[in-house]
Structure 1
Amino acid sequence: MGGSSFQGKVVLVVGATGGIGAALVHQLLAAGARVIAAARSPERLAMLVSETGQSPQLLVCPTDVRDRLQVGHLLAWAWGRVERIDLAIYCAGIEYLGPLTSIDGKELEEMMATNFYGLFFLVQQLLPLMDKQKEKGTIVWVSSPMARLAFPWASVYAASKAAGDALMTGLRRECWRSGLRLLTLYPGPTATRAGQQLPPERLPRWHEQGQKMRAGRCAELLLRAIAAGQRQRAVTMPLRLLFLLERWLPALSERLCAGMPL
């Protein structure tokens, strides 16, 4: 998928009303794609439609990704209208932070259901559909640096994201000869609403420190990586350097991550 080949493609964006998801929708429409936007809130989907000037290239479908049946309905609904999906981007997610003892059962279930089960439900039901297409499709998992770095007070969130990483890695090997592409991308620190639902005493200082890029810039880098077909990619240079440090100097990486300010 070259840099200009979003033109005319059918793209499903799951988690389309979040900061990065909404930015992806806007940029894909500007690139000439036909976009199917899915998110939990009908009201926020209506706002997205309004923001795009009610573009005829945009279709929206309220979907709770935690529900396998709703994900199946989304795919059946989309297939009935466009009869193919060239690219699916899963960027739905929720982040609860804090000491391990502060994460309650409801928060654990919500993170696993949104960050992992929803991805599983989508991929499991989308792969057979894409396999029928003449031109095989691409599925993109927007992961998190925490899946590999796991800073303090992010252990459970990191686990929910790492589960998605493992799923996509295994599926890439399972679908090696099918022509389907499965990509895992890691955005850098981005200014979004993530963590805003938390009380101040559970928001670690590292989460708010440092300069964060705009959601639009993050979406641009993600689309560039998708166009390049990079199966696993951190989209910023500082993040790539951190991943290299984790791989080649794990003891140093351990000290740096453990020392992140709380």
Structure 2
Amino acid sequence: MSPGEPPFSAPPPWRIVHFDAIDSTSDEARRRALAGDPGRLWIVAGEQSAGRGRRGRTWISPKGNLYASALLMEPCPPAIAAQLGFVAGVAIARAAEDIGAEARLKWPNDLVSRGVKCAGLLVEGVSLPRNRLACIVGLGVNCESAPSGAGYPTARLKDGSGRPADRGSLFQRLAIRFDETLAQWEAGAAFETIRALWLERSGALGEPIRIENARGRREGTFGGLDPDGRLLFRGKSGIEVVDAADLWILPASDGSPVAATSASRAREGRT
């Protein structure tokens, strides 16, 4: 389908291409990267027919929600490209704050509201000729609807008045905040700044969590992030640095909702 006129705006030099419907905003970003697009491009769609989640899982993408992918050309050394997940997390959290939403971050790449997932993201790399790397940051935000049957609680992101977040207003704030947060990151030279901003918005710092990886399923508390963004898991044997795991935020003692989504560092999320 040919792109329509984008209803949104982004700070220069960013460009926007808008589709009423598409297979996947990140797939379109990949196609454009391979075709020689210079980057600093947002792909936005009204709905997707082949959205992806973690580990290739289907991401249901009905009309009314926000689906967007940012294409960046050689934004940093390849070894630290996963940090873009934290950059994008801080940016979407800031954008949510700008519209008055009550939302926090869940390691490493989910936005949660009152403990329940309302947005996810996925960072992917594309190898290009001459050893160049393109990075695609895809985001999906539940605005008008939240998927059911996902295996974990989901919710719509609501603005400060309690109404569902307007996807156009949210995207405009996201475009500005992503540009700002990228600049703060300094291509990875200032990841400590991003790490601190992420932790300020953490929805589980010091809270009980469950993780599951090759070592099995264990419960403990969320101890923060190490300097590389890895999970600091405080269990029975003390602090453990976890690079990848499925993670669940456990119910608080007061019975408040949980975010039972799974995660595996910054390369997993959605597009």
Shorter-normalised TM range: 0.3 to 0.5
Higher strand share: 2
TM-score (norm 1): 0.36
